Amino acid sequence: MLTGWRYRVVGAGGVVALVAAAVLVANHPVSQSVFTTYVPVFNRLEPEVVSGGALALAIVLSIGVIGGSLLPLYKPRPQRILDTVFLTHKRLLVGGFALATLGYYNWTYRIPRATLTMAVALLFVVLPLWFVWIRHGTGREDGRTLIVGDDIEQIRRIAPDVDASVIGYLCPTVVSSVPKDDPAEAVAVADGGGTVGDWQGIERVGSHGRERIETINRLGGLSRLEDVIVDCNIDTVVLAFSEADRAEFFGALEVLHEHGVNAKVHRSYADSVLISEGGAGDLVNVDIEPWDPLDHVWKRAFDVLFAVSTLTMLVPMIAVISAAIKLEDGGSVLYRQERTAVFGESFPVYKFRSMIENVEDETGAKISEEDAGDVDPRVTRVGRILRQTHLDEIPQLWSILAGDMSVVGPRPERPEFDTRIQREGIDWSKRWFVKPGLTGLAQINDVTGHEPAKKLRYDLDYVRRQSFWFDMQIVLRQIWKVLSDLVRYGSDE
């Protein structure tokens, strides 16, 4: 894996070569003729090329402006593939607009509009591929590895199984030294203590007396995880937590997800995460984001298009529903709840209020009896219609537009329900590896929160099978289900 100055040299060198090649290709008479003939916006332009010294200076100018705009990408910083692509596009647009501004003035070495447009279009494709390749496509898969955990014993047991270059480990407060004459005077290293690269011989008092770890360096506590990942250009993190608790374990996974860093766990501790299929050895890969990158782009594009179009079409219905709720009891139109998102974080969800105002202040939060086919006395008359026709979910389209939810995914539960289900021994946290959805595989099969174990099986089946086209099948089935419920409700009335 390229690191440090080598990464900077290779990255900048590739940019120089690709920008020069793009300008040369875009400036060729054949390319110019095809471009100005078949691209509608430019079909009235005459091919305009530069040659000789003017071309050389135009190439130098392009390299200087575009190469300079890409400066943030020359640092070997861990990033997700999509983040790398989007950042490259954003910085390339800055450089392209700068060159267009310079080209506005009719000077000798300006770059013709057709040449500039073609060159930027070519670079829009090849530059992201270049940065993704040098960051993700070279070197060993594991690369530079960091061990993160909350238990020194477990870190020591797992370390020998790591078949990679271990940079160090992160762990909360441990004993740094134990005086021979008075063990009570042990000096503690606080969480976050220590600097990257400093050697610290960590000692602890165990059942067999003083023990010393001399194989790897302690780089600080768990609070330094993000700093160490960036400063040391970490490729893989091995998680060595004694318990996969929500506060620390999933917090670490969220950081790894943000930076596109691989995650591994020991096979014996893989029950609480989604692991990749197959794989040999004691360490297995964690599917932090089990999505194909291209499917991820299509999924987000569909989410935005679906939310905008549906909200626009439903404006009259939203007005009618709001008036009906207000006229029934004069209470608020919307009801706000906290729901669990990716990695156990929470986000606000809004629904049309279907229950008596503030009724949960008296009864407490509980799963509605309607989910089990009974009658919930807390639900109003208008609310019962909204629930039977699924219209109470319309405001969640805003959560989809904001990026907190997706159209398809495991339905988000309330944090108190999550905790309750976890206490029942159900590995509910495995659902947290994908963005929650408005509908999902469990919903189209009429499985509700009253059957958490069965619902979890459907949700995990979706996580493993997910793709853009699988989402489309679920959406079509859900639309058919909603229309069927509307027809059934109308006939019953």
Q: Is the predicted pLDDT of residue 275 greater than 70, yes or no?
A: no
Which value, in Å, is the radius of gyration of the alpha carbons in the chain? 28
The token duo for 100 is 């267009």
Q: Is the predicted pLDDT of residue 320 greater than 90, yes or no?
A: yes
- What's the CA gap between 346 and 339, in Å, rounded? 5
Mean pLDDT of 400-404: 89
Q: Summarize pLDDT for 95-116 with one digit per residue, the tens.
A: 988 888 876 665 555 677 778 8
Q: What's the pTM?
A: 0.54
* Three-class secondary structure of residue 82 per DSSP: helix
Strand order in the sheet with 283-285: 165-170, 144-149, 236-240, 262-266, 283-285
Q: What is the domain partition of the chain in residue ranges?
A: 4-136, 144-285, 293-492
Mean pLDDT of 62-76: 87
Contact 159, 215 (CB under 8 A): yes
Contact 341, 347 (CB under 8 A): yes
Q: Summarize pLDDT for 164-176 with one digit per residue, the tens.
A: 778 888 888 654 4
Fold for 144-285, please state it: Rossmann fold (3.40.50)
Nearest of 11, 257, 292 to residue 134 by alpha carbon = 11
Q: Tell me, what DSSP letter sits at residue 159?
A: G
Contact 230, 77 (CB under 8 A): yes
Contact 448, 374 (CB under 8 A): no
Distance of CA 463 to the CA centre of its chain: 14
Confidence of residue 18 (pLDDT cuts 50, 70, 90): very high
The token duo for 217 is 């360096």
- What's the CA gap between 48 and 226, in Å, rounded? 50
- Kindly tell me the burial class for residue 191, based on how many C-beta atoms sit within 10 Å of its own C-beta (0-12, 13-18, 19 or more): middle
Helices (H), 104-220: 113-136, 152-158
Q: Where are the beta strands (DSSP E) in 1-149?
A: 144-149
Nearest of 10, 14, 2 to residue 233 by alpha carbon = 2
